[in-house]
Amino acid sequence: MESLRRSRYTLMSDLAIGGQRLLLHGVTGAMDEVADQVGAFLKDTSLSVEEGVQKYNISQETLRVMEERGYLTKLAEDQERQRVGKYITKLHTLKLENCASFMIVVTYLCNLRCHYCFQKPLVEADGKRLFSDLISVEMVDAAFAAMAQLIKQKRARHNLELFGGEPLLARNRPVVQYIIEQARERNFSVTATSNSTDLHHYEDLLGPGGIEKIQVTIDGAPEMHDKIRIYPSGKGSFESISDNISRALDRGVVINLRINIAKYNIQQLPTIVEHIQQKGWAKYENFAAGLAEVHYIGIQDDRSKELSHLELIDSVAALDAPYFTKKALVRGVFGRHFNYFPGQPPAPKFDTCFCNAMQGHYVFDPYGNVYTCTEDVGFERARVGTYYPGALQFDALRLKGWHERTVANLPDCPSCEYLQVCGGGCARNALLDTGDAWTSYCTDFKAYFQKVLTLLYEDYKSSDGPDPAVLGLSSMVTACKS
């Protein structure tokens, strides 16, 4: 017992309910409910474990279980940190050796003009349109040849995501159809990130065996959306997007609805949920929705309309909305960090790094370039190689820079209890914000996650089993988490 020490990776809910608290271990992934006095014992670092056992009356059996779950350890602080570093690196290497995901940028052109578009500096300069090419059939063939080289698990079904600009413009259909045919031959699934304004031109290509999943974004209730997600003429796009979501759901496409949130539309969330209900989307098993904060980083200096993570969860929790709506929205935020089904214990989602860009994601653009970061495609700073003309070639140093950006290698993360729930923060935003992608980009993550833990614990304790306040809201599995 003398040699036991409190692990530095224990996370605890600030809130105690009915004399109990929620504990989470940031490395082992253990999640437990413990008596408040056990929580107080773990928190009270002014006392040694031995002294704490006396003061808080902790049994030998409790000590044994806490050691088994990782909350107590016999390792010295340095040894624990080193072991965690080795574990994360090994896990990450295994992922890199086994996982690969792919994206094709069909074109950088888009038919909409959202004011916060991260590709704005790329496609517009001095009022002129740049980067307006469509990917060619030869490039598609070269991209598939490159993917074949990068795939390690030959028998696994891989995914190819279509991205833009807007990949599913009506005029892109011939090359998109070619990509889908090539993907089918290779047993790839095909998904897309699409504004879905032209989706009706792809009706026969939607659903199993075609485009199986689409991430679609809305920017608020119809009126607000129509001021933001606009055509060059200034006309809004809500109705066509909404109609096409219904069309795609009917054809069996999995729709991930991304609800963009900033200070100007946070109060509209209940109206958005009402729209989802009125349309009947929530009844489809292939429908899910999640909230995503609008970022202006790299687009404009004025970021006053942005909501931080913490502001988002605080605002959602404070919404004056019906019970059903509020619960559904709060659970939508949990989905980013936990697999959570009301009535069942939550299971935390862990990762060795922040996003797919660090673990085998490759993006092929219509200029023959390869990237890893979805939001930085087209920018020279993020280019890691080329695939056309000629064979796939990487800039080894640049690629290594992405693949090694794990929580084991960032400056502050190896000692942080949030390491595997946070992942070290977005590399692109860290670079644009601080000038160094290798910064541990904490933002307000710790306070935000603590709030999530508290709300989750309240939700878990107050629910007797499955209830209707879920609405299909869940996390969206996307390459980019920024």
370: CB partners within 8 A, 6+ apart: 146, 362, 363, 364, 383, 384, 385, 386, 387, 392, 394
Smallest distance, Å, CB 90 to ligand SF4? 18
173-185 helix and 137-150 helix, angle to the nearest 10 degrees:
30
Beta-carbon-side half-sphere exposure of residue 397 (alpha carbons within 13 Å): 1
357 binds ligand SF4 (CB under 6 A): yes
Nearer to ligand SF4, 238 or 371 (CB): 371
Q: In the set 445, 448, 457, 460, which binds ligand SF4 (CB under 6 A)? A: 445
Residues in CB range of 90: below 8 A, 6 or more apart: none
Report how far residue 169's alpha carbon sits from residue 148's, in angstroms, rounded to the nearest whole number: 27
Burial (0-12, 13-18, 19+ Cβ within 10 Å), 185: exposed
126/380 with CB nearer ligand SF4:
380
- 424 binds ligand SF4, rule: CB under 6 A: yes
Task: Give the residue with the Cβ less far from ligand SF4, 163 or 457.
Answer: 163
Compute the distance between CA of residue 141 and CA of residue 135 in angstroms, rounded to an integer.
10
Check residue 414 and report its DSSP letter. Answer: G
418 binds ligand SF4 (CB under 6 A): yes
Cβ-proximal residues to 214 (8 Å cutoff; 6+ apart), any chain: 191, 192, 193, 194, 196, 199, 248, 253, 254, 255, 256
Position 480 contacts ligand SF4 (CB under 6 A): yes
Closest separation in Å from C-beta 407 to ligand SF4: 5
Complete DSSP assignment for 323-387: HHHHHHHHHHHHTTTEE--TTS--EE---SSSSGGGTTEEEE-TTSEEES-GGGTT-GGGEEEE-
**Closest CB to ligand SF4 among 107 and 440?**
440
Cβ atoms of residues 226 and 197 within 8 Å: no
Contact call for residue 176 and ligand SF4 (CB under 6 A): no
- Alpha-carbon distance values, 59 to 37, 41, 52, 64, 464 (Å): 12, 12, 11, 9, 30
Q: Which of 446, 454, 458, 463 binds ligand SF4 (CB under 6 A)?
A: 446
User: Residue 190 or residue 416: which is nearer to ligand SF4 going by CB?
Assistant: 416
Q: Considering beta carbons, is residue 92 or 428 the nearer one to ligand SF4? A: 428
Q: Among residues 73, 197, 374, 386, which is the contact residue for ligand SF4, using CB under 6 A?
A: 374
Name the one range near ligand SF4 by CB under 6 A: 15-23, 327-335, 418-426, 464-472. Answer: 418-426
Under the binding rule (CB under 6 A), the answer on residue 337 touching ligand SF4 is: no
- Site size toward ligand SF4 (CB under 6 A) is 30
- DSSP for 309-329? HHHHHHHHHH----HHHHHHH
Place of tokens 């860009």: 357
The minimum distance between CB 433 and ligand SF4, in angstroms, equals 11
CA separation for the pair 388, 391 (Å, rounded): 6
- Residue from the set 407, 408, 470, 471 that interacts with ligand SF4 by CB under 6 A: 407
Structure tokens at 108: 């950088």
Angle at 26 between CA 76 and CA 446, to 5 degrees: 110
Pick 180 or 373: Cβ nearer ligand SF4: 373
146 in Cβ contact with 362 (< 8 Å): yes
Lookup: tokens for 211? 């485009």
What is the footprint of ligand SF4 within residues 376-405 (CB under 6 A)?
376
Name which position in 108, 441, 448, 457 contacts ligand SF4 (CB under 6 A).
441
Residues 101-130 vs ligand SF4: string with x where CB under 6 A?
Answer: ------------------------------
**Would you say 106 or 419 has its CB closer to ligand SF4?**
419
Does 482 help bind ligand SF4 (rule: CB under 6 A)? yes
| C-beta separation of 302 from 295 below 8 A | no
Residue with Cβ nearer ligand SF4 (451 or 481): 481
List strand residue ranges (DSSP E) for 389-465, in order.
393-394
Interface residue with ligand SF4 among 114, 143, 160, 427 (CB under 6 A) is: 427
442 is an interface residue for ligand SF4 by CB under 6 A: yes
Q: Residue 255 Cβ, how far from ligand SF4 at the closest point, in Å? A: 21
| Contacting range for ligand SF4; rule: CB under 6 A; set: 29-37, 70-78, 213-221, 371-379 | 371-379
Q: Which of 294, 419, 470, 476 forms a contact with ligand SF4 (CB under 6 A)?
A: 419
Minimum distance from residue 403 beta carbon to ligand SF4 (Å): 12
For the chain, the maximum distance between any two Cα atoms, rounded to a whole number of angstroms, is: 74
Query: Among 80, 166, 351, 375, which residue sits at the site for ligand SF4 (rule: CB under 6 A)?
Result: 375
Query: Closest CB to ligand SF4 among 121 and 208?
Result: 121
355 counts as binding ligand SF4 under rule CB under 6 A: yes
Determine contact, residues 371/363, Cβ cutoff 8 Å. yes
- Interface residues toward ligand SF4, by CB under 6 A: 354-355, 357, 373-376, 407, 410, 412-413, 416, 418-419, 422, 424-429, 440-442, 445-446, 479-482
